[in-house]
Amino acid sequence: MSAGRTFKRGGVHPPGEKHRTAAVAVEDAPLPERLVVPVSQHIGAPARPVVKKGDRVLAGQVLAEAVGFVSVPVHAPTSGTVRRVDVAPHPMGTPQPAIEIEADGDDAWAEPLEPIPAPEAADPSVLRRRIQEAGIVGLGGATFPTHVKLSPPPEATIDAVILNGVECEPYLTADHRLMLEAAGEILAGLQIVLHLFGLERGWVGIEENKPDAIAEMGRRAGDGGWAEVVPLEIKYPQGAEKQLIQAVLGREVPSGALPMAVGAVVQNVATAAAIHAAVVRGRPLVERVVTVTGPGVREPKNLRFRVGTPVRHLVDRCGGLTGDVAKVVLGGPMMGLAQHTLDVPAIKGTSGVLCLTRDRVRTAPAGPCLRCGRCVDACPMGLEPTGIAAAIGADLVEEADRYHALDCIECGSCAYVCPAFIPLVQSIRYAKGRVLSWRRKRGR
Ligand code: SF4
Ligand code: SF4
């Protein structure tokens, strides 16, 4: 019986599959010869290129600048020459504008942003600006610009900051390794975020399948009580923001509202480490850790790679694909995106490269709904996935809205348990798009 806290409604228990890489220390991936840096690696306006073909660039130099508040710049991941500024394959599926760099192998760095060695004495507005200019986005996969999340409107009162070390997606261990190998940087990032809100105490939520990370983060936080490490029950999607807030604080974020509605801000542990590097060392976000794993890759590893590195290069570093690989997913198996080619770049939001063999991929065709209700029981948001899918299938957009389609966090729990293999998430994602445009047309 678990002693860990958890969320109240729904959730599923897929096999963890983390054994391949949980004990494998992070290794630096070698620099590739060419890197492709998309100008859109975040939610919000794509960055605007400020370099052109033929330009020489240094690592950390701005390649494309932020366009407005909900946007971040992208930086050169290494030194070299700009070969192309053009559309290129993107992990989201549709080709997008990107800057291709031919690396010179020197990995020479531009001057860092001016370090802020004592962030606890810095003005919060200076720190927020720094987090934007360093190109920091949510590294848990959401890629929302971090400075925006850390800038709630004046009427919002934030009294709780939670670091998300849950990593509930099966197979992935990048955050786990980071908590073991860089606990000090993560906690220093938490201190910066606490300072932004004038708070003295924060939380770190970690699933109980990472007892070594719970121990290490607790040890590094010390006895002062300023950072409480909270062991959480192993249940998917424990790491989803609203579920994490409920598990740690016992607060329920209302339908349609953001975490700030209950006074909470959540940051992924890797994002916290990136905040620390940007503020204290003046280092822009040009690298992250990814788990390359699954039965379809020969030597699963946790790799630190430069943004823009081709996925093929990372897979090759892990001994290449096995002969019976059937599917490569960027991210985890529940929320990741299947790729048609390995010639896409790994970017800021790439937490996993999951290589699945035929026996791990569902191939059965979808059948009719059996009205078993399993999807309803599994939904952590208390939705009726089958109702939303049926409504949008019949083109009843208003009804899909009445079913609260927009509350869906696309966690995939409903599709995971569906015995008829109905692609519920795709239907609901489509429904969300239709509901949003329907609402916009009505000025809602
Ligand atoms: S994908 Fe959406 S509808 Fe399905 S279980 Fe998750 S939140 Fe519920
Ligand atoms: S789990 Fe699948 S079969 Fe069962 S009610 Fe939901 S959609 Fe229908």
Q: Residue 142's pLDDT is what?
A: 81
User: Whose C-alpha lies nearest to ligand 2, atom 4?
Assistant: 372
Q: Residue 1's pLDDT is what?
A: 55
Composition of the chain by helix, strand, coil, percent to 5:
30, 20, 50
Largest Cα–Cα separation, the chain: 61
Q: Which residues pair with 145 in a beta bridge?
A: 137
Distance 224 CA to ligand 2 centre (A): 49
- pLDDT digits over 197-249, tens only? 999 999 999 999 999 999 999 999 998 889 999 999 999 999 999 999 999 99
Give the mutation target among 12, 362, 372 for probing the ligand 2 site: most ligand atoms within 8 A of CB.
372
Q: Residue 2's pLDDT is what?
A: 67
Helix (H, G, I), strand (E, B) or coil at 382: coil
- Bridge pairing between strands 325-330 and 352-357: antiparallel
The phi and psi torsions of 169 (rounded to 5 degrees) equal -65, 130
Q: Residue 309's pLDDT is what?
A: 98
Give the end-to-end CA distance of the chain in Å, rounded to a whole number: 46
Type of residue numbered 410: E
State the pLDDT confidence band at 418, using cuts at 50, 70 and 90.
Answer: very high
Q: Residue 405's pLDDT is what?
A: 97
Torsion angle of C-alpha atoms 121, 271, 304, 337, degrees rounded to 10:
-160
Type of residue numbered 57: V
Distance 14 CA to ligand 2 centre (A): 18
Give the mutation target among 370, 403, 413, 426 for probing the ligand 2 site: most ligand atoms within 8 A of CB.
370
Cα 316 from Cα 22, distance rounded (Å): 20
Name the architecture of domain 27-107+284-360. Answer: Roll (3.10)
CA angle 434, 440, 444 (to 5 degrees): 115
Residue with tokens 């948001």: 381
User: Whose C-alpha lies nearest to ligand 1, atom 5?
Assistant: 379
- pLDDT digits over 133-167, tens only? 999 999 997 899 999 999 999 999 999 999 999 99
Q: Which residues pair with 216 in a beta bridge?
A: none
- Bridge pairing between strands 96-103 and 74-75: unpaired
User: Whose C-alpha lies nearest to ligand 2, atom 8?
Assistant: 369
Q: How many residues does the chain have?
A: 444
- pLDDT digits over 271-322, tens only? 999 999 999 999 999 999 999 999 999 999 999 999 999 999 999 999 999 9
Residue 319 CB–ligand 2 contact under 6 Å: no
Contact (CB, 8 A) for 78 and 102: no
Tokens of 292: 């390359």
Tokens of 51: 């370099």
Distance 332 CA to ligand 1 centre (A): 16
- pLDDT digits over 161-171, tens only? 999 999 999 99
36: nearest Cα among 72, 93, 82: 82
Mean pLDDT of 45-64: 98
User: Whose C-alpha lies nearest to ligand 2, atom 1?
Assistant: 418
Q: Which helix (H) or strand (E) holds 376?
A: helix 374-378
Tokens of 280: 């204290």
- pLDDT digits over 79-116, tens only? 999 999 999 999 998 999 999 999 999 999 999 899 99
Residue 367 CB–ligand 2 contact under 6 Å: no
Mean pLDDT of 342-355: 97
For the chain, give the mean pLDDT: 96
Give the mutation target among 335, 410, 430 for probing the ligand 1 site: most ligand atoms within 8 A of CB.
410
Tokens of 341: 């080619």
Contact (CB, 8 A) for 390 and 397: no
Cα 143 from Cα 70, distance rounded (Å): 11
Q: Residue 442's pLDDT is what?
A: 87
Distance 70 CA to ligand 1 centre (A): 27
Question: In terms of CATH, what superfamily is 119-280?
Answer: NADH-ubiquinone oxidoreductase 51kDa subunit (3.40.50.11540)
Give the percent of the chain with pLDDT over 70.
100
Residue 369 CB–ligand 2 contact under 6 Å: yes
- pLDDT digits over 259-278, tens only? 999 999 999 999 999 999 99
Q: Which helix (H) or strand (E) holds 272?
A: helix 269-280
Give the mutation target among 413, 417, 418 for probing the ligand 1 site: most ligand atoms within 8 A of CB.
413
Give the percent of the chain with pLDDT over 90.
95
The phi and psi torsions of 202 (rounded to 5 degrees) equal -135, 180
Residue 372 CB–ligand 2 contact under 6 Å: yes
Cα 369 from Cα 212, distance rounded (Å): 43
Tokens of 328: 């490569």
Cα 298 from Cα 304, distance rounded (Å): 18
| Positive or negative: CA dihedral 361, 346, 24, 181 | negative
Q: Residue 139's pLDDT is what?
A: 97
From-to residues of CATH 3.10.20.600 in the chain: 27-107+284-360
Sheet-wide strand order for 202-207: 227-232, 202-207, 160-164, 264-268
Q: Residue 430's pLDDT is what?
A: 97
Contact (CB, 8 A) for 177 and 75: no
- Ligand 1: atom nearest CA of 378 is 5
Residue 420 CB–ligand 2 contact under 6 Å: yes
From-to residues of CATH 3.40.50.11540 in the chain: 119-280
Residue 409 CB–ligand 1 contact under 6 Å: yes
Cα 113 from Cα 123, distance rounded (Å): 16
| Chain centroid offset of residue 1 CA | 30
